[in-house]
Amino acid sequence: MLKSIQQRDLDRNRWIKISMTVILVLICVSMVITLIPGLFGGPSTGTDNPDNAAMVGGQAVTAVDVQQRLDQMSRGQTIPEMMRGLYAHEVLDQMIFQRAMDYEAQRLSMEVTPGEERQRIEEILPTAFANGVWLKDEYVNQVETRTGMTVPEFEEAIRQGLVAEKFHHLVTDGITVSPAEVQDEFRRRNEKITIQYALIKPSEIAPAIQPTDEQLAAYFKQNLAKYQIPEKRSAQYALLDLATLRAHTQISDDAIQAYYNQHLADYKVPDSVHVEHILFKTVGKTDAEVAEIKKQAEAVLKQAKSGANFEALARKYSQDDASKVKGGDLGWIVKGQTVPEFQDVAFSLPKGAISDLVKTQYGFHIIKVLDKQTARTKTLEEVRSSILPILLDQKVNAEADSIATQMADAVRQSDRQPITDLAKKLNLDVGDVPPVSITDPFGALGTSQDVSQMLFELHVGELSAPLHVDKGYLVITPKQIVPAHQATLAEVRPRVLSDYQQEKSVEIAQAKANELAKSAEGGEPLDKAAKALGLTAKSSPSFSRNGTVGDIGTADQIESAFTMKVGQVSAPKEVGGNWLVYSVVAHESANPDDFAKQKAEIEQQLLQTKQSAAFAAFRTALEDRLKQEGKLTINADVVQRLTHQS
């Protein structure tokens, strides 16, 4: 079986198994945090060391600790600068909670034994052990390659996870869900209602609102502050267009041949085999269960060797979720990519053959070889199309760098020369930018903060240094500056009209909703009252609390409808920018026959909700107590430095 599949199975089956441990500490805590207001609120004091963000039971959480943890958790990914402060805040929360649980564990004499740590590591990395013997080199390799952590970091995460798991059990093991609670939740989820409703949409009203010149002028005068015209600048630029340069760049056959010769090793294709398989998992099964699984696998093997469609058998019986949907297809594999038992059989079978049962640590496999390929080196013609863009990029980039250097040299010699002269000298494209504000896009040049900033720093006629943009390199110069000023109505009339229509259409929609509700509450049928106001009433199909209601949207927006009586009319309600009035037409009780099907799922979800709430309350109480005892202090200045970007 493929090592990638091994990893996926381990992640799915074992890592999930310990999610209340390592993941509870590293990830799930952040979910708890969102339920608890203001960890940083209250009168917490600073710490003595100016680098300490917090002190928990005499243990410091430093700014360096937070940054290192943040870097570790974001390894291989780029955190947007604007989000880094928010992430740092969350990581600090997590680390404080970890320290708080460690302190409380010591107070309660709650220990994680070496045996518990070893058992958990065996569950996560079983192949780092052989017959109970720790394979040190293999263990170190697997930790570093599969978790991205060092061994000490990994083992500390395991220890922290086990501490969190012990507290979770301590807090939640006694929590239960009563039959009455399950029944109530079943009824709540499954009862349905039908409504009649009218939705008044300002967007449909707005186009018909056509104010007089006097009305628009009055509205503009009342809202002058909204209509300020920022400084705008027009510009001219000289552009080295990379697309144009690329179109005129040629790569010779000799260059392609030379690159191919230099990179022959990259084009070597090892022995490979294209296989399908059917997996019967035995991980975590008893000997008796393994025996039953083997019988099932042998029965399926008999069908496969008797001519049954292998892909259909894989879709029906395989327990490898990733490949079963593709008829068991694992694609091409090479030596060293699979566990030995799987590899030996796959590479020994002829094309078209089906194996006997193959036992690995993950279960029983039936392997079918679709095709085989002997090691060879791809020909130049096979790889020419992949070499050409590489050489083209290299040549274009080198040429662009050279021209950009010449552009910079020319500007340094004179930043007041006509930009058209510079463009002619270096064969650059010339273009114009109409008046734009500092936040406006630059037409075909798109949006570039560097270009905007530079344009608004230069004087008229002054050339910028070459700037890199998506299209290439450009030099830009301001042509005209229009200072910021109070807009006249003529300058912003379309915007003023749109704002006027939007504001008035909302007022009209709300007024119509109020009038409709008043008429319906007075006894007039909703559909007739709506028609009298030029509105259309609609009838919904029956829906539950987690359903959707026509053009209203999700049912949770009108949750109160489920507690209203038949015939009762709602007050006007704003929903997604529209105004809604509805009446309840019918209630439909939950079908008792569905209870048995949903009981287990509802009970489990209610239990998880209760457990999450209990653990959140434990965390709040623990941190509050440690603050009161002076065992948890927070340095607001360090926190501010860490999280200022959010």
Query: Check: CATH 1.10.4030 for 3-174+610-643?
Result: yes
Q: Per-domain residue ranges for the chain?
A: 3-174+610-643, 192-225+491-588, 229-243+385-486, 271-374
Predicted confidence (pLDDT) at residue 283 exceeds the cutoff of 70: yes
Q: Which of the listed ranges 19-23, 90-94, 502-506, 550-554 does the model predict with the highest average pLDDT?
A: 502-506
Q: Which CATH code of 1.10.3470, 1.10.1740, 3.10.50, 3.30.420 fits the domain covering 192-225+491-588?
A: 3.10.50
Determine the pLDDT at residue 88.
87
Q: How far apart are CA 582 and CA 517, in angstroms?
A: 8
Q: Which two tokens stand for residue 59?
A: 């243990």
Q: What percentage of the chain carries pLDDT values higher than 70?
A: 91
Q: Which residues pair with 234 in a beta bridge?
A: 480
CB within 8 Å of 282: residues ≥ 6 apart: 289, 290, 293, 362, 363, 364
The two domains 3-174+610-643 and 192-225+491-588 share their CATH topology (first three levels equal): no
The count of C-alpha atoms lying within 13 angstroms of the C-alpha of 169, restricted to the half-sphere facing its C-beta, is 7
Long-range contacts formed by 593-601: CB under 8 A, 24+ apart: 594/186, 594/190, 595/183, 595/186, 598/186, 598/189, 598/190, 599/182, 599/186
DSSP string, 170-188: HHHTT----HHHHHHHHHH
Q: Which two tokens stand for residue 248?
A: 């005129």
Tell me phi and psi for residue 331, to 5 degrees: 75, -160
pTM score, whole prediction: 0.57
Q: Which CATH code of 3.10.50, 3.30.930, 3.40.50, 3.30.420 fits the domain covering 229-243+385-486?
A: 3.10.50
Determine the pLDDT at residue 269.
86
SS3 523: coil
SS3 546: coil
Q: Which of 574, 449, 446, 452 is nearest to 507 (CA)?
A: 574
Predicted confidence (pLDDT) at residue 394 exceeds the cutoff of 60: yes
Q: Which residues pair with 423 in a beta bridge?
A: none
Predicted confidence (pLDDT) at residue 439 exceeds the cutoff of 50: yes
Q: Which two tokens stand for residue 53?
A: 């963000």
pLDDT band, very low/low/confident/very high, at 646 (cuts 50, 70, 90): very low
Q: Out of 77-91, 483-497, 565-579, which region has the weakest mean confidence (pLDDT)? A: 77-91
pLDDT band, very low/low/confident/very high, at 260 (cuts 50, 70, 90): very high
Q: Residue 289: enclosing H or E segment and its boundaries?
A: helix 287-305
pLDDT tens figures, 580-631: 999 999 999 999 999 999 999 999 999 999 999 999 999 999 999 999 999 9
Q: Which of 365, 347, 367 is nearest to 355 (CA)?
A: 367
Mean pLDDT of 558-574: 95
Q: How far apart are CA 570 and CA 558, in angstroms?
A: 10
pLDDT band, very low/low/confident/very high, at 80 (cuts 50, 70, 90): confident
Mean pLDDT of 542-561: 93
Mean pLDDT of 97-120: 93
pLDDT tens figures, 332-372: 998 888 888 999 999 999 999 999 999 998 899 999 999 99
Q: CATH second-level architecture of 271-374? A: Roll (3.10)
Q: Which residues pair with 331 in a beta bridge?
A: 275
Determine the pLDDT at residue 75.
63
pLDDT tens figures, 509-519: 999 999 999 99
